[in-house]
Chain A
Amino acid sequence: MDDFYREIIIDHYKSPAHRGQLEHKDYSFEDENPLCGDFIHVDLTLDENQKVKDAVFNGHGCAISLASTDLLLDAIRGKTLDEVKMLTKQDVLGLLGIELSPVRLKCALLPLKVVKAAVYKLTEADDKLVE
């Protein structure tokens, strides 16, 4: 357990660095995990080199989904859209640094799903985005 809620997860959950909302955004998406009620909204902007400049979120959920969101938004700053589209489940698990059961995996992957749906400009997010 002490391995599970690692300090990094608790830190990002309790004091997220990227909570917020952008008035002017280039990409935006939100989705929920109806099974547990986790809800994440993400706003992104790009810089002149078409790289992610700002990435913020708001929403609510469990420690895993919120820490995963904050860590992911940290990681995508400075990346090109193509690089963001290439991100996988393994990348998110790498950021969290823990093993997850199938139920908790859904929590962890919600932000990746939202971010990818945003950059692909989808109207609906699909689990296939994060497989």
Chain B
Amino acid sequence: MINLQKIRADFPILARDVHPGKPLVYLDSGATSQKPAAVIESMDSFYRTSNANIHRGIYVLAEEATALYEQARLKIANFIGAPFPREIIFTRNTTESINLVSHAWAKKFLNAGDLILLSEMEHHSNLVPWFMLAKEKGIRIEYIPLTSQGLLDLDKYQQLLQKEPKLVAFTHMSNVLGTINPVKPMVEMAHRAGAMVLVDAAQSVPHFPVNVNFLEADFLAFSAHKMCGPTGIGVLFGREAMLEKMDPFLGGGEMIKKVTYEGFIPNEIPYKFEAGTPAIAEAIGFGAAVDYLSQIGMDSIAEHEKEITRYTLECLSNLKWVQVLGPPIEFKGGVVSFVVEGIHPHDVAQVLDSEGIAIRAGHHCAMPLHQKLGITASSRASFYLYNTKEEVDKLVIGLNKVRQIFA
């Protein structure tokens, strides 16, 4: 069990009112999480006391900054069970991590006619980079279909693997349906078929324990800002042996070992993929976020979110005019998307906002999935460690108000 009162006090923003007398009810952590004071202060303290560019500097500040940056990398490696810190590449976010794999791995190792397997529940960030690559290199794309329950159809997946895809890329947890996919067996199946696996872990690493060594995925991508950290920094985890073989991503400073007028020799991993001055303060903030989450415990956070999600599903099931998307609770993380009968999600969100309640309305960067579900848009409440049942009650009261205005 977590100490909810103490946790809420850790997040300064939760103390604010959105409108007079309407305190913030933040139900959009799937888009970005709020930040605890420890994270904000770690970045503030870096800028106040240790700010310098990292690596190569021969003075105290530069050495301190470098040590803090590399400590953050180590903390994140430990957090996801990566064997070596050099398997943690800092990027801007999950999207950039996936683009990195597309540019530095797929462009080098895939050829015209090769197949990439995606799923029907992907976020645009795990679709568009592959569309771009497919167009450039003549690569084929197929999709692991959804079952009527909103799970991935593993029988169909097995059949698709017989087509010998070179890469299988799918989300650990759907940002719309909340579906948690069985990564471990899916990776095993892909590996048996000779495919590499990329896991979009943007919605999983923040919310429950994820161990890359256990999952055995080849690549795993996530963002700091969805897990109490700052925006502008994310991670690509990759296996050392594969990272060594890959081409660099962006060119510039830091990613080189040596440059002449004739050319360059790339740096060691992970620096080979980290061109230019990175987001140093953000990396340090990311490290602080990981410390914060570890101290509370990812198991406890997952358990709390499960309870809030179960309660939400229970409450919404009493509203006959609300249709919840996605699978039942046992397959689901802390994301509840829904459609209010006859009322556009924008109108739902606008009325809720007047009550201080922040939800997301739209296609949540998953337009093909919405098309598949036969809807143009949906409303989404997504939870994190700081959400309470009282906030869910406010959501339900707000939805009743929506109904009262428009029905």
Interface set of A (CB-CB < 8 Å, partner B) = 1, 4-5, 10, 13-14, 34-38, 60-64, 103-104, 107
Contact = CB atoms under 8 A, between A and B. Distances in A.
9 contacts: A1-B351, A1-B354, A4-B350, A5-B347, A10-B406, A14-B406, A36-B362, A37-B375, A61-B344
A36 B376 contact: yes
Contacts of A60: 376
Contact of B347 (A34, A35, A62, A103): A62
Given A5-B405, A10-B405, A63-B406, A36 B345 contact: yes
B124 to A, nearest CB: 12
Contacts of A38: 344
A64 B346 contact: yes
Given A35-B363, A36-B361, A36-B362, 11 more contacts: A4-B354, A5-B347, A5-B405, A10-B405, A35-B362, A36-B345, A38-B344, A63-B347, A63-B406, A104-B350, A107-B346
B39 interface: no
B367 interface: yes
Given A4-B350, A5-B405, A63-B406, A34 B344 contact: no
Contacts of B345: 36, 62
A57 B379 CA distance: 26
A104 B347 CA distance: 10
User: Which of A4, A14, A60 has the most CB atoms of chain B within a 10 A radius of its CB?
Assistant: A4
A1 B346 CA distance: 14
B167 interface: no
A99 to B, nearest CB: 12
Interface in B130-171: none
Contacts of B362: 35-36
Contacts of B405: 5, 10
Nearest to B371: A37
B402 to A, nearest CB: 10
Nearest to A61: B344
Q: Which 6 A-B pairs have the closest CB atoms?
A: A37-B376, A1-B354, A62-B344, A62-B346, A63-B347, A62-B347
A13 B406 CA distance: 9
Contact of A37 (B347, B354, B377): B377
Nearest to B407: A14
Nearest to B350: A4
